[in-house]
Structure 1
Amino acid sequence: MMRILLFLGTNLAVIVVASITLRLLGVEGYLTEQGMNFNALLIFCFIVGMAGSMISLFMSKWMAKRGTGTVVITQPSNSTEKWLLDTVAELSQQAGIEMPEVGIFPAQQSNAFATGWNKNDALVAVSAGLLNRMRPEEVRAVLAHEIGHVANGDMVTLALIQGVVNTFVMFFARAVAHLVDNFLRSRSDGAGLGFMGYFAVVIVAEIVFGLIASAIVAWFSRFREYRADAAGAQLAGTGPMINALARLKAESDMPNQMPETLTAFGINAGQTRKIMERLFASHPPLDDRIRALKEAAYR
């Protein structure tokens, strides 16, 4: 539900920008006296849906820092921070990307995340708990996993997919509201839904279609975790990557201290076995990720 509320809130936040853009494109509106202009509606939904997703992408580093309390390391103050910077620099060079910003956030649960609007302007951060409890080779594997996300362009791809599904959620929600309005006009005194009724149908339809869209986005998010695990194994070794995931699994009972809006970015997620929760989970179960790495190692 939080995803849907954020989706609706983003639409409202960018509506002014979308309206200006639509006017520049010559699209004055999708509701006319002759009915609904579906071409104009599709353009409207595409601009609003993509705008919300792109704004979130460009703000992702700022939101991540604020949401997690991440402190970016500009000058290392101890040997651990120096090792962290050197390790990320080495892995980034191996992966063929620019050195990302590196930070530490104050969570006791072992966790890490990567975000940023492109692979050469990213942020990689680890929790204090991960540094305190994992062995250096395991920390390196986690960092390699996050570098894998960056090198694969996962943040950009996920934002594009989110923008596309936003477009169709908004389009079909308004199309359904238009059909309901026409049906009521043909069966009653011609009043139809009215402004508030039309708006209510749009909101309900967006929630329904938004749930379906969230499942699609979550499927891609799970797929990208397997790819990032494979990249981590390639950069840091399969054994350390498996050991790091096993260490994360051992901490699965600890409370997740990542903000809900950033859970999809963290490495330590996807523990549930409930069918519905797995459908909308951003990460596969850790057992499945470990199994995939072991199977790949024996090919």
Structure 2
Amino acid sequence: MGYIKTTILMAAMTALFMGVGYLLGGAGGALIALIVAAAMNLFAWWGSAGMVLRMHNARPVPRRDPSGLSDMVADLSQRAGLPMPQVYIIEQAQPNAFATGRGPSDAAVAVTTGLMQQLSREELAGVIAHELAHIRNRDTLIMTITATFAGAITMLANFGMFFGGRREGVGIIGSIAMMLLAPMAAGLVQMAISRTREYAADKAGAEICGHPLWLASALARIQAGASRIDNHAAEANPATAHMFIINPLHAHARDSLFATHPATENRIAELRKLAAAMPGRASARPAPPPPSRAQGKGGPWG
């Protein structure tokens, strides 16, 4: 099912890309856009994950790092039935995280230093489980491809702003369409996919770690941090915002059409419902923040 969704997404983004090319240069522009889109599809499939990690200056974490992060990811990956993904850390005060990669066999999980510092071990486990759910659901490829294409469509639209439509009869209308409508359409695809997949990953992540309230508490803490701490790398690359667990660009409070993420309050409410339906979990609370050194080899779920 993940491959079918990816194919449909590639086709839609390619058609939009060609449409902008047509406005810029007629049939010739559409053909050039098709060739460029084909190359971008190939690049997005094989190389966009690494590009996203470089955009955010992520550095790999060794398998036996003193913080115990790699051990936690390994433990939760085993519970999720996944191979161990690569683990990255981002020097960023804003607490946040994302996953990327073509699929479970070559996935990566990246967390910020702010996330490591501000969350308890149990809350961190909830976040990691959420990202592993994205990997298991094969959301990471879809989200990475949308980030790549949305950025390219916006760049092409900006090009059209300066050089204008080349097709006769388009004129200023074509320029306005390229400037506003094409990036908006690409953004709407990103946003709709992201909102749907975040709810699904919340549910699956809660099941992986076994405690929905761990993730609920983490979401509340991350939202509080993201609302007051800027993420400059994300601001410079807004097409990647939908990949994070919480919008790093300070999303609106409601599940609006133009929001990249569901409202955090709504996600927490769904997790609380899930916790209430799980015997013995409804009253579970995250423990206080752990000491900075490794936590040992026990699973983060206790």
Q: Same fold (TM over 0.5)?
A: yes
1:1-299 matches, within 5 Å, as: 31=27, 48-49=36-37, 51-78=39-66, 80=67, 83-158=68-143, 195=167, 203-207=175-179, 208-236=181-209, 237-251=211-225, 252-260=227-235, 261=237, 262-269=240-247, 271-273=250-252, 278-299=256-277
Change (3 A) 1:234 1:75: closer
In terms of mean alpha carbon deviation, does 114-123 or 195-204 score higher? 195-204
Q: What letter matches 2:213 in structure 1?
A: G
Q: How many residues align?
A: 241
Indicate the structure (1 or 2) with the bigger Cα radius of gyration: 1
Report if aligned partners of 1:104, 1:127 keep a CA contact under 8 Å in 2.
yes
Q: Contact conserved, 2:96 with 2:111, CA < 8 A, in 1?
A: yes
Matches of 2:82 and 2:60 in 1, distance apart? 19
User: Which runs of 5 or more residues in structure 1 are unaligned?
Assistant: 1-6, 16-29, 33-40, 174-192
Q: Which structure 1 residue ranges, 4+ long, deviate > 6 Å from structure 2?
A: 43-47, 160-166
CA distance 1:91–1:280, change in 2 (3 Å): same
Match of 2:8 in 1: none
Could you say what secondary structure the match of 1:293 adopts?
helix
The alignment partner of 2:259 has SS state of coil
SS of 2:261 mapped into structure 1: coil
Within 2, Cα distance between the matches of 1:221 and 1:31?
Answer: 33
Answer with 130-139 or 212-221: which moved more. Answer: 212-221
SS at match of 1:126: strand
Indicate how the Cα distance of structure 1 residues 224 and 258 shifts in structure 2: closer, same or farther if over 3 A, else same: farther
Q: TM-score, normalised by structure 1?
A: 0.67
* Shift in CA distance, 272/194, structure 1 to aligned 2, threshold 3 Å: closer
User: Shift of the alpha carbon at 1:44?
Assistant: 8.0
In structure 2, relative to structure 1, the CA distance for the partners of 1:63 and 1:160 (3 Å cut) is closer
Is the Cα contact below 8 Å between 1:57 and 1:155 reproduced in 2? no
How much has 1:274 moved relative to structure 2?
A: 6.8
Q: Percent identity?
A: 31
Contact 1:264 1:282 in 2 (8 A): yes
Q: Find the aligned partners of 1:159 and 1:47 in 2 and give their Cα distance.
A: 20
**Secondary structure, in 3 states, of the residue corresponding to 1:97?**
coil
**What is the distance in 1 between the residues matched to 2:69 and 2:268?**
25
Question: 1:58/1:202 Cα in 2 relative to 1: closer, same or farther (>3 Å)?
Answer: farther
Q: How big is each residue's C-alpha offset from its partner over 1:33-73, in whole Å with a ceiling of 9 and x where there is no partner?
A: xxxxxxxx7x9876654643452343233222221121102
Looking at structure 1, the residues matched to 149 and 242 of structure 2 have their Cα atoms a distance apart, in angstroms, of 18
Deviation at 1:85, TM superposition (A): 1.0
CA distance, structure 2, for counterparts of residue 71 and residue 241 of structure 1: 25
Task: Give me the whole-angstrom Cα distance separating, in 2, the residues matched to 1:68 and 1:84.
Answer: 19
Q: Over residues 14-33 of structure 1, what are the superposed CA-to-partner deviations in whole Å (9 max), with x where a residue is unaligned?
A: x9xxxxxxxxxxxxxx959x
Structure 2 Cα separation of the partners of residues 161 and 127 of structure 1:
22
Q: CA deviation at 1:88?
A: 0.9
Q: Highest relative contact order (Cα 8 Å, sep 6+), 1 or 2?
A: 2
Question: One-letter code of the match for 1:286?
Answer: T
- Cα deviation 1:80-128 (Å, max 9, x = unaligned): 1xx2111111221222222111011101111111111222101101111
Q: CA–CA distance in 2 between the matches of 1:87 and 1:272?
A: 29
Say whether the 8 Å CA contact 1:46–1:164 is kept in structure 2.
Answer: no
Question: How far off its partner does 1:204 sit?
Answer: 3.8
